[in-house]
A and B are shown apart, each in its own frame.
Chain A
Amino acid sequence: MAKATITFEDINITVTVPAGTRVIEVSEKVGSAVTYGCREGDCGTCLMKVTEGWNNLSEPSVLEDKILRENMAGKHNRLACQAQVLGGHISVKPV
């Protein structure tokens, strides 16, 4: 199975995950401060900043784009419950 790595900068931990894993699934288990609310891409609680590997994430859906806009998300911000890491390496941290 294809692998990818995610570094959570706030706790300095890198996790090797199966490609396609949603960031929030890892974040809650590893204890990063990227925390969650609805887990359905609606509340914006899990907003995170992607500091590296932006292009290794799945494209934002129309729904995620809408919530990012409503929350006035900055450049390279994503919802951890929606963003899937497709391969390679990404680094993230809480907003």
Chain B
Amino acid sequence: MDGVRVTDSHSQPQAVALSSRLFWIGALDPQLRSFDIILKTANGTSYNAYLVRGSAGVAVIDTVKEAFADDFFARLESVAEYREIKVIVLNHLEPDHTGALPELMRRAPQAQLFISHKAQSMLKGLLKQESLSFTPVLTGDSVSLGDRSLQFLHTPFLHWPDTQCTYVPEEHTLFSGDVFGCHFCDNRLFNDLVGDFRFSFEYYYAHIMRPFKQYVLSALQLIEPLPLQLIAPAHGPILRDRPDRYIHRYRQLSSPALHSEISPHQKSLLIFYISSYGNTRRMAEAIYQGATRVEDVRVSLYDLEGGEVGPFVDLIEESDGLVLGTPTINGDAVKPIWDLLSSLTVVNLKAKLGGVFGSYGWTGEGVRLVEDRLRGLKLRVPIPGIRVKLIPTDQEIQDCEQFGLELARELMGLREAKSINFEDLA
């Protein structure tokens, strides 16, 4: 396959042909080391934008970060004139892909802007232009460029609500946005020419796509049937050599690990605790005993002091319920609990069952603070947490067993119908 050269200190940046009709017109950012605060990159990234030439007009797919607009426009001008641009597609509205959009629209005012259905309010939030004209699209919508066409795939939450993919059937090419992308900068551009980017691909998935696995699987339902010769993501190498491998890897990464370990009729309930004097531990053990009395609940008891956060996050991702035990020290839950809670944004927790308990000396705010955090993380917390002042009595141990029993019954949908007054809710 051909080698490419996209930078030359003595000449203007040039577009790179992916075929006779498709061109890379993006920009390279080799000095970037931290992306969106949450991601590191050891060799920068690329902002990939593309141009599609049809017999009846040209489409531009995505732009670049504003600081790199000069490179983008120079590459665009090397293969097209602004008056030829009929269509602008935004697969994703994050500023690293829309930074050059206002200037592009100023230079090509005739172009029609296509965004996903879910992108409409975001576009206004980003560009602050109320009068902006655009066409929202969904799966099944398409636009013709004559002998080439663009078909839109509605693939939301990969990794923002607005994300979509654009397929050019005549070229068997998918412009995938951030999906199948990574932060990796190499001016040879193509996956069969660049350095080893496997780590970057996996790392990007783990930090960007992992919270949205269900949406990845939905998107794959649309993408897998497509005849594909090339995947052109918005960051990192362009995947022209066996692109199907990357689709397959996404399916693997988005499927549960050891899924068959828990039978379909069983549910997994995890109890994590940390204890300074053994009081919260005794509560945890009693809750564990109570929960194990419910059939088909697989209950696990873990001391946070005995493990690392990463594997615990993996466990929680696969579980159905999460119960946390924390003492209250100086008016707060303890740091290992917060360390765990602050690491959970990389997994989807929505509607998992949550519960909290703990011993305290004189104030006991920890339990309520953690309950609020669980609700903020979109867990449901149906049973008020249980608090014990210092050493639990025999009665309080029984209360903990009952708490565990009720949580397990709740998890299995076994709690009886109940009518209550709003004023009685905690």
Contact = CB atoms under 8 A, between A and B. Distances in A.
Nearest to A63: B121
Contacts of A5: 419
B213 interface: no
Interface of B: 117-118, 120-121, 138, 161, 350-351, 375, 378-383, 410, 413, 415-422, 425-426
Given A42-B121, A70-B121, A71-B118, A15 B425 contact: yes
Interface string A27-39: 0111111011100
A83 to B, nearest CB: 16
B418 A14 contact: yes
Given A13-B382, A70-B117, 16 more contacts: A11-B380, A11-B410, A12-B417, A13-B417, A14-B417, A14-B418, A15-B419, A16-B420, A16-B421, A16-B422, A17-B422, A29-B426, A45-B378, A66-B121, A67-B121, A70-B121
Main secondary structure on B side of the interface with A: loop
A12 B419 contact: no
A36 B375 CA distance: 8
A32 B416 CA distance: 14
A70 B380 CA distance: 26
A46 to B, nearest CB: 10
A42 B121 CA distance: 9
Contacts of B350: 33, 35
Question: Which size bracket describes the interface of A in this complex?
Answer: 20 to 34
Contacts of B418: 12-14
Contacts of A11: 380, 382, 410, 415
Contacts, number: 72
Interface in A25-59: 26, 28-33, 35-37, 42-45
A72 interface: yes
A56 to B, nearest CB: 16
A89 B350 CA distance: 27
Nearest to A5: B419
Nearest to B355: A31
A13 B378 contact: no
Nearest to A72: B117
Contacts of A42: 121
14 contacts: A11-B380, A12-B413, A13-B418, A15-B422, A17-B422, A30-B420, A31-B380, A32-B380, A33-B350, A35-B375, A35-B378, A44-B161, A67-B121, A70-B117
Given A72-B117, A94-B351, A13 B422 contact: no
Interface in A68-95: 70-72, 94
